[in-house]
Amino acid sequence: MKFEVTILGSSSATPIFNRNPSSQALNINERLYLIDCGEGTQQQMLRYDVKAGRIDHIFISHLHGDHYLGLVGLLSSMHLNGRIKPLHLFCPPRLKEIIDLELECSETTLQFPIHYIFTSNEKAAVILENQDVTVESIPLDHGIPCTGFLFREKKRLRKLIKEKLEGLDIPTEYYSLIKRGSDFTLPDGRTIKNEDLTIDSSEPKTYAYCSDTQFNLDYFNQIRHATLLYHESTFLHNMLDRAIETRHTTALQAGEVALQINAEKLLIGHFSARYKTLTELLEEAQSVFPQTELAIEGRTFLIGDQ
C-alpha cells in the first residue's frame, strides 16, 4: 500500500526564493489528497506531475491566504477541464462564503458538486473514513481557527505464508477469509489454525500534518508516535519572541515536539521569507531530534518503511 507525501509548497506568508506557500499532495493507495492550497499550487502540481483529476479530497487548515489562495483557481481549472465528479472539501466554515462569492462575482456555476465538511478547532474529530484511511482534525493554536490533520492507515489484512500453503490444496477463493483471520478445515477433518498460515501485517502508519501553531502541549497526545510528523518551523529560535507574537513555532520547538511525542521522523516547513537558505533551520531542529528533514518542494517522502 502506497503511503507517501509530495511537497508542493513550503514557504510561509509569501512566495520567495523559489519557495511557494503551503501545499502537499498525499498519496494513499493511489488516492490523492491535497493538503492546503496556497498561491501557485496549480503550477507546482504541473511541475511535479500531480494530476488534479485524481484529487477528490482537499483539506484546508485555516483561512490565512498562504494556505488557501490557490484554491479558487484550482476549482475553476477543474471546472474548465470538464470535471463532473464530486469534490470533498474539509475546511473552516467561512471558506464556503469566500468560494460562493468568487463564483457569484465571476458568474460561474461549477459543473461538479462540492461537498463541504466543516472543521472546528474546539476539539478533535474524525472527519473522513474510507477503506484506506481515517482522518482526524487536530485543534491547533494559531489565533484564528486552525486545524492540522492526522491521517491513519487502516489495519491491513494478515499476510499469507506461501510456504505453508504449498501442498495443502486450499482453494484460492478461501485466501481472503484466511487473510481475515479464519482457520481452515481440510477435507480429512483436520483444522489448521490461522496463525500457522499467516503472519500479522505491520502496524498502521500515521502522518500528522501540523500547520500553523504555536508550541502547545494540547495537541501532543493526539499525534503521539506519529510515523511521520510534518510540523511548521517558521523561525529560528533566536526569534522566539516573534514566533510567540505571531503564534508560530521555531525549528528548535518543532524538534522538541517530535521528541516529546516519540515520532519516527520529522519534516519541517512553512519557512519564513527572511531565510534564503534553510541549513540553519534544519541544524537547529536536528540538534534536538536528529531524524529531521526539510520539506523541500518536489521531494516525495515515504511514510514508514515500504
The catalytic residue positions are 66
Angle at 278 between CA 276 and CA 282, to 5 degrees: 165
Q: Which three cell numbers stand for residue 243?
A: 514566533
Interatomic CA distance for residues 234 and 269, integer angstroms: 7
Interatomic CA distance for residues 140 and 219, integer angstroms: 7
Check if the beta carbon of residue 139 is closer than 8 Å to that of residue 127.
no
CB neighbour class for 55 (10 Å; exposed up to 12, middle 13-18, buried from 19): buried
Q: Which three cell numbers stand for residue 120?
A: 472546528
Element (H, E) at 36: strand 31-37
Interatomic CA distance for residues 174 and 162, integer angstroms: 14
Interatomic CA distance for residues 155 and 203, integer angstroms: 7
Q: Which three cell numbers stand for residue 13?
A: 506568508
Interatomic CA distance for residues 181 and 163, integer angstroms: 18
Check if the beta carbon of residue 206 is closer than 8 Å to that of residue 222.
no
Nearest to 267 by CA among 24, 21, 14, 16: 24
Residues 6+ apart with CB under 8 A from 160: 175, 178, 179, 197, 198
Which DSSP state fits 110?
-
Interatomic CA distance for residues 210 and 121, integer angstroms: 13
